[in-house]
Amino acid sequence: MTLLLIPVLATVLCSIAVAADKSGTVAGTVALVSARTKTFINGASHAKLVLRWDKRTVSIQANEDGDFGGSLKVGTYCLQRAEDENRNPLTIYVGQTKCFTIKHDRHTRFDVVITAP
């Protein structure tokens, strides 16, 4: 009986290790909009998004046009805050979706709206 349990346990442990390495991609734009008129101003240049995933903090940096992208491990990520290039807090639009899910070998689009002061 014990000999049969060891291969099963080894298979379970290997499955867990493989699942932990799975990843997908995310891309999006950090858009700056007018708080008053709610119209697009431009991409939030070099904005940093701070996300929460699996009790960890993950950061994504946007480029000069406010676009970002990259590979992330499978799981649900929730937007905690956004910062400008000097680490000053940015105001996330009140209607902003906060969470997105990365699935293995899939692409996810996640756009973030920031309101101008």
Give mean pLDDT in consecutive 10-residue pieces for the chain, a chain of 117 residues: 39 41 95 92 96 96 97 97 95 94 97 92
Cβ neighbour number for residue 8 with a 10 Å cutoff: 9
- Between CA 67 and CA 97 the distance in angstroms is 17
Tokens representing 72 are 């992330």
Structure tokens at 7: 């291969």
Superfamily of domain 23-116: Immunoglobulins (2.60.40.10)
User: DSSP state, 66?
Assistant: S
| pLDDT value for 117 | 75
In sequence order, which residues have a C-beta less than 8 Å from that of residue 60 and are 6 or more positions away?
A: 26, 48, 49, 51, 68, 70
The full set of domain ranges for the chain reads 23-116
